[in-house]
Each structure stands twice: as C-alpha cells, then as structure tokens.
Amino acid sequence: KAGVTQTPRYLIKTRGQQVTLSCSPISGHRSVSWYQQTPGQGLQFLFEYFSETQRNKGNFPGRFSGRQFSNSRSEMNVSTLELGDSALYLCASSYGTSGGYTDTQYFGPGTRLTVL
C-alpha cells in the first residue's frame, strides 16, 4: 500500500507570492490533516479535512487555506507569503472514523518551504 505523498518536496518563494502544496493520502483514508513544523514552535495544527469538509481548524491567519477533493487528495494554499512562513509542511492521513486503530495518523515526507 503506497504511503502518503506530498508534492513538491522543496519550494523556494519570495515574500508576497502565493503557494499551493498537495497531499495524496493513503488509499481508503478520508481524513487529511495539515501541520506546520518550525524549530521554534514545533508541530502546529493547521486544519483537517474529512470527506471534503473542514472538520477542525488551528489558529492560523486566513492566508492559510485548504481544500479536499472527492478522491480525498488535499491541497493547502498560502497567500501573501511572509518570511515566517518558512517551515516544513506535513500532511497526515487516517481513516478518520472514531475509535480503534483506524485513528492512527500516517504522515507524508513533508514539503520544505523557504520564503526569501
């Protein structure tokens, strides 16, 4: 079974630009969550999508948005990039149902975003 894939793996942008990151979950998984990881703040939750609906949202500005398609693939968009947006962006997928080991989250390798 293929794991979670993220594209692109590396990205360099300049301030003010916008960027779209993509995440393909494990086949059969309906939940996709996005996280931002920085050395100072650690892993911070951005949002979670389940069956094309945003189910949870973290404390990030509106410049950060996402969506999920009918095949469960998800995209994350950051508009008007700032230097502080430089981070490793991770997505994780799970079955998304309540209880049991179906709740285990599986992470992709991440997209390293550098904002200059």
Partner 1 sequence: KQEVTQIPAALSVPEGENLVLNCSFTDSAIYNLQWFRQDPGKGLTSLLLIQSSQREQTSGRLNASLDKSSGRSTLYIAASQPGDSATYLCAGKTGANSKLTFGKGITLSVRP
3-state secondary structure of 113: strand
Q: Toward partner 1, which CB reaches closer, 4 or 19?
A: 4
Map residues 36-55 to x or -, x wherever contact with partner 1 holds by CB under 8 A.
------xxxx--x-x----x
| 107 binds partner 1 per the rule CB under 8 A | yes
**In the chain, which ranges are E strands?**
5-7, 10-13, 19-24, 31-38, 42-50, 53-57, 64-68, 74-78, 87-94, 106-107, 111-115
Residues that bind partner 1 (CB under 8 A): 4, 33, 35, 42-45, 48, 50, 55-56, 58, 88, 90, 92, 98-101, 103-110, 112
